[in-house]
Amino acid sequence: MDRCRKINVSGNIAYGKPAVQTGFWTEGGKDLTADLAVDGRLYEGSNNYCAHPYTLDGTPAQWTVDLQNNYQLYNVTIYNSGNPGGTIPTEYTVTTASY
């Protein structure tokens, strides 16, 4: 059962783009990987099928999203999944690169 709700992805240049992370978390036999962070859905309910900010050893994961083009960025929005009782990282570093 899908317990993640869709969000408005209008203007979200990361939506559906390739995403990877250093390590991942596994919950209920499902790997919670970076691609789940750019699928336009937020966690809602007991099935944790959205991205997770930590690796299996408890260290914060480093995420990379390939925007597949160069963009002038004005802001970066990171959504909290709303997982009650979950641990939420409070410090973020955003790095950009042109290819």
Domain extent listing, the chain: 4-65
DSSP three-state, residue 32: strand
pLDDT, averaged in runs of 10, over the chain (99 residues): 58 90 84 86 64 82 89 82 61 76
Instruction: Check residue 99 and give its pLDDT.
Output: 66
Q: What is the pTM for the complete model shown?
A: 0.74
> Which candidate, 69, 67, 89, places its Cα nearest to that of 79?
89
Sequence letter at residue 49 = Y
pLDDT of residue 47: 56
Distance CA 17, CA 12 (A): 10
Residue 65: Cβ within 10 Å count: 18
Residue 17: per-residue pLDDT: 93
pLDDT of residue 65: 92
